[in-house]
Structure 1
Amino acid sequence: MNSNDCRNKKIYFRWRINTMNKRIMAGIMTGVMFSVAGQTVAFAMPGDIKEAVMESGYNAYDHTNSYANYSDSDLISIQGYYVATAQAMIRQSPFGEIYGSVTPGQEYYVVGECADCMWYKISGDVSGYVYAAYLVPKSDYFVPAINTEQTWNVRDLNMKMTVTNTSAVHVRRAPSVTGEIITALSEGEEVHVTGNVLNTEWYECKYNGETAYICDDYLTPELPQTMACTAKKLNVRAAADGNSPVIGTLNHGDKERISADENGWLRFSLPDGRIGYVSDEYMAVVDQ
Structure 2
Amino acid sequence: MQKRRSIILAFCFILMAGLIQLEEPAKAEGTAVTISTHNLNVRQGPGLSYPILGQAQKDDRFNILSQKGEWIEIDFKGKKGWVASWLVSLNTSGQGTLAETANSSQAIVATDGLRVRKGPGTGYAVLGTVHKGSSYNIQDSEGSWVKLQTPYGDGWVSSEYVQVSSKKKNTSNVSTSKTGRITANSLNIRSKPSLQGAVIGKLNTGDIVAVTSQNGSWTEISFSGDTGWISSQYIKLQSPQSGGSNTKQPNSGQTGTVTATALTVRNKGSLNGKPIGSVSKGQSFTILEEMNNWSKIEYQSGSYGWVASWFLEKTAAKKSGSSQHPVNGSTAVILHNGSNIRKSASTQSSVIHRANKGDSFDIISLQNDWYELRLPNGETGYVAGWIVSVNGSAPKVEKPGAEIHLKNKTIVLDPGHGGRDNGTTGARGTLEKTLTLRTAQLLYDKLRAAGANVILTRNSDSYLPLPSRVGVSHYHNADAFISIHYDSIADRTVRGMTTYYYHSFQKNLAANIHSNVTSLTNLRDRGYRLGDYHVIRENKRNAVLLELGYLSNPAEEILITSAHYQQSVAAGIYQGLARYFKN
Q: Which has the larger radius of gyration?
A: 2
**Both structures adopt the same fold (TM-score exceeding 0.5):** no
Q: Which has the higher contact order (CA 8 A, sep 6+)?
A: 1
Give the alignment's TM-score, normalised by structure 1.
0.39
The structure with the greater share of residues assigned to strand is: 1
Give the alignment's TM-score, normalised by structure 2.
0.22
